Structure 1
C-alpha cells in the first residue's frame, strides 16, 4: 500500500465544488478528481517519479488555499481510495474511511511547524496541483502535522451546527430570501440573542470596533429559522447596523482559514473596501463560518 498527498483545486476537484467541508457529509458521497500527469503520475519530494495511485492506497487531501479555482484550507482530510478511474488528464476517485481534520493546516502553518522538512519545502515551492508520493519520513511528517493541529474529527465528534445545517437546508433557503426583505420583524428571543452577542464580542462591532451599542446588532451567521442550534452564541456576530445588512446580503464575508474580512467586488469603490483583509476575532463555529463563506462565494460568482 502506498500513500499520497492529493493536492487539488477545490472548485473543480472536490465534491460539489465544496472547498472547505463543514461536516463529513459534504464530501462523503461525491467523486474527487486529481490531476493526471504522464508518464509520471506522482512525484516524491526528492524529485523522483512515484507510482500510480491504486485502490486501497491512503491519501491526504490538500485543497489549495488560493488561486483561480481554489479557496481551500490546505490539508483537510485523510481517506482510502476505494475506486480510481484514469481519464484523459485527470483521475476520478471514490474514497472511503474519510476523516476530516479538526483544524485545517495551511501552508504557512505547515512550514512554521516543520521548516526543515523536504516535503513541506517542496509543497511550499510548488503551489499548483500535483500528486505527491510519500515515503515513510513524509508520512511521519504529515501525521505529526495532523496531531499538532488537534487530530481528526471522529465520527463521534458530531458538530451540532453541522447536523442542524443538514436537517434545515430548505428552511435556511427560505430564511435567506426572507431576510433580504426590508420588513424586519422582532422575534421572540432576539433580545437575549443580542445580549449574548454583546457579551461574547465585548460590546464592539467585530468588523469596525464600533462600541456605540445603539447602532450594534446581533447577526445570525446561519439565518434564523427557529432551529435552536442556530441561536447559539457561536453562530453570532456583533455588527454595526450597516455592516450587518451587507453581511446578510453576502457582500461582506470572512475567510474561514485566515479570519480576514472579505469584501465583494460590488463594494470595491465604497467606504467598505478598506475592510478588505482586516483580521478579526470572530469566535464562530467552523460550520457557521464555512456556510457563510460558501454563500459569499456563490454571490460573487452569480
Structure 2
C-alpha cells in the first residue's frame, strides 16, 4: 500500500508461473501478532494451510483505492514482522508450497541458467533478508498439531500457552518433510525458537535442563537457566536430536 508505514515486498514472478511476495503484518511489533484481529486470522491460515486472497493496490485517490485481484496464495512463513506468500494456483493447478523467506531469496537459482527471470531489486532482497542461521519453519499443520498434543499445548521452557506465539520448532535443522517428526520437535515461544535456531539456547540431552549462551545470561533469558524443559518420555523420545543439537551448541558457544 502506498503511503503506508508497512514495508510490503514487491511481487516476484518466476518463469514457471509461480509468484511470491512478502506482506507486512498489521502492526509493527511481535505483540501485534496476538493483539490484531487480522494477524490472528492469518496465523490460523498458516497453521491450517488455508489460502488467502491477495489484492494489490493500484491507485489511491483520497480514501478510495483501486485494486488488482492477484489470486489465492498460501501463507508459507512468518519471520519478524513479515509473512511469505506464494501462489496457491498456477496454470490452473495447485502449486507446490515455497515455505520460507530463504526459499524466496533462492527460488530462481534452479532456473536462472536456463531461462529469463525477473530480477529481484536490491531493496527487496534487503527487506527479506533473514540471517542464514535462522531457518524459521512453522512446519506442516500435522507437525505442529503433534507437538501441541505431545507437549500439552505449552512452550516447554516458558510455559506460555498462547497458540498465536507458539512455534513447532525443529531441534535439528529442517531438511525436508522427514524432519517433521515428534522426536525432532519442540513447542517453543517464538523468541525462544529464534534463540534455539541461533544456537543461543539448548536443552541438555541427559538432564533436560535449559542452557542459555553466556552473552544472554544477564538478560531476561537468564532466568530460564537451569530450568527443566523436558523430562521422562518427552525427553527420551527427543534425546537423539537433542544430543546432536547439544554438540552444535557447545561448538558455537565454546563450552
> TM-score interval w.r.t. the shorter chain?
0.3 to 0.5
Using CA pairs under 8 Å that are at least 6 residues apart, name the structure with larger relative contact order, 1 or 2. 1
Structure with larger Rg: 1
Superposition TM-score, scaled by structure 2 size: 0.44
